[in-house]
Amino acid sequence: MGVDYYNILKVNRNATDEDLKKSYRRLAMRWHPDKNPGDNKEAEAKFKQISEAYEVLSDLQKRAIYDQHGEEGLKGMPPPGSQSRAASANGSHGPRNFRFNPRNAEDVFAEFVASSSRPYGFESTGRAKSTRYQSEGSSTFGGFHRTESTFRSHNEATGTGTSQPQKAPAVENKLSCSLEELYTGSTRKMKISRTVLQPNGRLDPETEILTIDVKPGWKKGTKITFPGKGNELPNQLPADLVFVIDEKTHDVYTREGNDLFINQKISLVDALAGTTLNIKTLDGRDLAIKLTDVVSPGHEIVIAMEGMPLAKEPGKKGNLRIKFDVSFPSRLTAEQRAIIRRALGG
């Protein structure tokens, strides 16, 4: 049979796909040339044998040919003792027209790393349906350092010209919220549509409902990120989907940081004699504010803890600031003028 791939990979002939992966992972880690700088030639030879064995045994067609015809049939060589290659050529030994040429050991290794369910040196996004490489130019594989030139990715081997998949730029969408929603908090359901890369390489459309919990006190510009929820494309990591809070204009209130502002118009009589203001808060409460002092145009009063909630300090709020505009009468009768003069001592 020539080379015993099963023995090289330290598995029996009934080894499952998972058995092959575990053994290849262990042996590749042990014999990779970067881990054996003192015995580089021996390590390279063993690493090449291990990768070749894994390439054959992990492929159903190659493994079947190897099990039936051995290394000679797999590589299109005549069986031991034959006088020529005619037997191999006419199909009496091994499948007709099949010839296995081992790939570069580093390419086999890089492809294994990229497809492994335990991606050493890589980190999973946790939500996306793909595995992304570390963003730095080098990473750690199973405890030893590797560089881009040592571990070439499968993308490079297939001609993409890059050592690692590139992540698409983030996709941003506005999420418009009323001031009431940003005051009390709310839950928003967002339906998204995107393309998903199937194992067979086909791109299929997919819809999904994303839940966004808007926290009390969030400000305009707050970003909510869903990692890897952008479109999936071959040889590219899907983009992050980002929702950016936008604040709708309110009829009564304006916001500056954590403070709320109201412009309140009152009559001259109320400004001089006092009154009680009734203000509806953003969470629906009736807030009664009694004015006892004389209110001049442009005067401002501050109501503590009636502003926006502080997102990072639950239980605390900013201030409510009320700025007054005093409405003066357009004309007075002679009697009214006299009364005012007597009352004010003019």
Tens-digit pLDDT profile for residues 68-81:
888 887 876 655 55
Position 314, amino acid: P
Domain 168-247 class in CATH: mainly beta
148-163 pLDDT per residue, tens: 333 333 334 334 444 4
| 286 φ/ψ angles, rounded to the nearest 5 degrees | -95, 115
pTM score above 0.85: no
CA-CA distance, 243 to 176, in Å (whole number)? Answer: 10
pLDDT given at position 142 = 41
pLDDT at site 345: 80
Query: Which candidate, 80, 120, 71, places its Cα nearest to that of 100?
Result: 71
Q: What is the pLDDT of residue 297?
A: 92
Quick one: pLDDT at residue 125?
32
State the DSSP H helix or E strand holding residue 237, giving kind and residue range, or none if neither.
Answer: strand 236-237
CATH class for the domain made up of 254-327:
mainly beta
Q: Which residues contact 28 (CB under 8 A, 6 or more apart)?
A: 47, 50, 51, 109, 112
CA pair distance 170, 125, nearest whole angstrom: 14
Strand partners, 216: none
**pLDDT in the model for residue 79:** 52
5-166 and 168-247, same CATH topology: no
Residues 6+ apart with CB under 8 A from 24: 9, 50, 51, 53, 54, 58, 112
* Superfamily holding 5-166: DnaJ domain (1.10.287.110)
Q: Would you list the domain boundaries of the chain?
A: 5-166, 168-247, 254-327
Q: Establish how many alpha carbons lie within 13 A of residue 92's alpha carbon, considering only the half-sphere containing its beta carbon.
A: 8
Euclidean distance between CA atoms 122 and 65, whole angstroms: 34
User: Residue 103 corresponds to which amino acid?
Assistant: R
Cα–Cα distance between 207 and 201 in angstroms, integer?
19
Closest by alpha carbon to 119, among 98, 134, 137, 100? 134
Task: For residue 287, give Cα distances in angstroms to 32, 116, 267, 279, 337.
Answer: 73, 62, 20, 5, 35
How far is the CA of 60 from the CAs of 8, 64, 82, 176, 342, in angstroms?
18, 6, 28, 54, 109
Which residues does the chain have with pLDDT short of 70? 1, 76-98, 114-164, 346
Q: Calculate the dihedral angle through the C-alpha atoms of 190, 196, 198, 204, rounding to the nearest 10 degrees.
A: 90
